[in-house]
Structure 1
């Protein structure tokens, strides 16, 4: 719980009653590897804060191939926030890559916090902006770099994920085949 509060406090101030309200509204869940936190075609119903584990955002392209779009690990929020907030069906899946333990807010509890804590919306806006910035910063170089450079950038940006995420997901994220990734890994050792 303290990890969640410390994270939120980076984006705004909260008094003890507000912190108590947040702690009262959140519950801890366990999500086994392979399970979905949110699914394409369904309205996301919760916001999570990852205590342990790794999630990936993925979708299917027009050829039916599964594409990994992004990874989320410990001490970060995980949700399809825009669709959660708008109460609209998601276009991506959010899947547990490893066994995960997280703190979760239901839509009702999130709205209760928003309606009770003054400036909660400003804190949330700053969190969402930071998350989007991190995503863009990690994806932008992938467009113009060769495969080896993309993999080296991935290692630099996500050092904790390299040995926790299946190669097929990393290859998909980098936009290369698993065989190419295996060759690249062999060549840089």
Structure 2
């Protein structure tokens, strides 16, 4: 069992060795190379994955054919299309590895088995959903009320290492600006410092 998932779970609930064995039996280790689509729009998401190593991007394509980044996920985060996974509906987004990744993956069946055999994990998943909803609400607020410079400063403060791991055009897409405008904002930041 990977220590990082044990540490993650222990933030929410306490599990004994038998319960940890159930977790280990339900989660499948996967190594996925970079630039692989884990989910295509139109497909039904059949996984929830805990990231041991790597960086993943969730995005959708708008009516103009532009890719808009919704979220980046890195080590110690989970990635999935929750709506598609839980309701078995076609996804509206893509999930792509940006780096070589190591994941612990739950299928719908293995998650159902896990929750049936270790019911206290319901609490962990509920708290994860609440935390995720809170993050999305804050992101929505920043999207509609912050200036581009404010969004960049918040992004840099919140995710200091991502600028070195993620191509700049994906960061621009996440911020809702063009790559050229992001470059101008970064130059302004450097002049101020």
TM-score > 0.5, shorter chain as reference: yes
Structure 1 CA distance, aligned partners of 2:49 and 2:34? 16
1:24 matched to 2:25: yes
- For structure 1, the residue ranges without an aligned partner over 5 or more in a row are none
Match of 2:120 in 1: 119
Structure 2 CA distance, aligned partners of 1:139 and 1:29? 32
Match of 2:98 in 1: 97
Counterpart contact for 1:70–1:135, Cα < 8 Å:
no
Q: Give secondary structure in 2 for the equivalent of 1:163.
A: helix
CA distance 1:82–1:12, change in 2 (3 Å): farther
Match of 1:49 in 2: 50
Count of equivalent residues = 189
Structure 1 CA distance, aligned partners of 2:106 and 2:140? 28
- For structure 2, the residue ranges without an aligned partner over 5 or more in a row are none
- Give the alignment's TM-score, normalised by structure 2: 0.92
Superposed CA offset, 1:101-131 (max 9, x none): 1111222211111121123323211111112
1:77 matched to 2:78: yes
Give every structure 1 segment of 4 or more consecutive aligned residues whose post-TM-superposition deviation is greater than 4 Å: none
Match of 2:148 in 1: 147
Structure 1 CA distance, aligned partners of 2:140 and 2:103? 25
The alpha-carbon deviation at position 139 of structure 1 amounts to 4.1
Match of 2:160 in 1: 159
- Give the alignment's TM-score, normalised by structure 1: 0.93
